[in-house]
Structure formats: C-alpha cells, structure tokens
Structure 1
C-alpha cells in the first residue's frame, strides 16, 4: 500500500461524510489509528484494509490503488465483472440496451429541467 492508499482513504471517508471516529467504530479500531493510516504513518493489514473497504462501500482493489477506473460503487463493479464473463454478442446486446436507456434518461432529465 502506498501514499495513494492514504489519499484514497481520506478522500473516500470525507466523501461519505464520516469522521475518523465513525469509520473506526465501523471496523473496530480507534480514530487515532485511522488518522495514522491517512497520514501514511502506518499500513493496515489486508484484513483491516478489507474491513475499511467494506465500511466505505468500495472495492478493496479501488481502495489500495489496484484499480485505476473510478468505479466506487460495489454493485456497479460487480456488474462490470459479470460483463467480462459473458459472450461478446451478449455483451454488445446489453451495452446497446444500456446506451438506449441512458440516452432516454438524459433526454428526460433535460426536458424536465426545461419545464
């Protein structure tokens, strides 16, 4: 784990509007320890890092910097992983449906803002 971990931990915790103490309580440690992780003074074990990722609702890969994509939502990441396991034909069909739905959603959003 690196400085990237420290920065991501701090950023995600703040994005979730959690204090160090609140996050610490979720994983069974102290706010001071979370502070040490955020400053890079101390590195958590893989088990603790996994607990932190779960508490923050992000993947462990994202938290420790193994994933460069900004997929913070665990449900979305799971769906992307499933897409990688299906045939190209099925994947293309799903993506076409998704593109069509997203285009409609954007149009509806734009129309509702104009009204």
Structure 2
C-alpha cells in the first residue's frame, strides 16, 4: 500500500497489529494476493489518515472527502429530489467556474 509507504512510519507488521489482523495480512493485500474486506479498508484509511477512495485508486488526493462537513453536504444533496439536485449542482458548477476563472 503506497499510503503506508508514504507515511514511512509503519511497517507491514505495525499496520497488521493496529488493524487487529494476524500474520502477513498487509503484505498479502499489498501484493494483491487477497482482497481486504470493506471494513478493513475503512480501518486502514483511518489509521493512515487518508480516504477509502485514495486506497482504491479513485483519486490521487489523499484527503478528498475527509472533510465531514463537506461530505454531509454532498450526502444531503444526494438525498434531494432530482430536479433540486440539478439546480443546486448547476449553481455550484457556475460558482466553481467563476472561482477558477479568477485564478487565471
């Protein structure tokens, strides 16, 4: 796991112990010999202070959606009726574009 190596402070054995795993579990995960459960991935993300998305290779940013307030907002938006979501996202996209243009 690149996140573990990036931290540079945890050996495979250290991480295994922190997760309550046994034997060479982390090494097997890192070599793609075994896939960890969702619960294990969540615990690994917490220990390494990153996100599940980063561990799964969905993003290069180690802190995307770690902001709980932002995550709550996104969950709220996701729960709204489709038309309301579309209006909110349209407005949000316009605001994001405006901020990006300012920085050019």
TM-score scaled by structure 1? Answer: 0.56
From 60, 74, 82, the equivalent of 1:70 is 60
Q: Deviation per CA, 1:27-86: give whole Å up to 9, x if none.
A: 222462111211222221111111112212222122123x1x4111x2xx1279779956
Partner of 1:16: 7
CA–CA distance in structure 1, aligned partners of residues 12 and 42 of structure 2: 17
TM-score scaled by structure 2? Answer: 0.60
Report 1:24-39 matches (<5 A). Answer: 24-30=16-22, 32-39=24-31
Count the aligned residue pairs.
85
**CA RMSD between the two structures:** 3.1
Structure with greater helix share of residues: 1
User: Do the aligned partners of residues 27 and 94 (structure 1) sit closer, same or farther apart at CA in structure 2, a change above 3 Å counting?
Assistant: farther
CA–CA distance in structure 2, aligned partners of residues 90 and 35 of structure 1: 44
Which runs of no fewer than 5 residues in structure 1 stay unpaired? 1-8, 101-115
| TM-superposed deviation, 1:89 | 3.0
Structure 1 runs of 4+ aligned residues shifted over 2 Å read: 78-86, 92-97
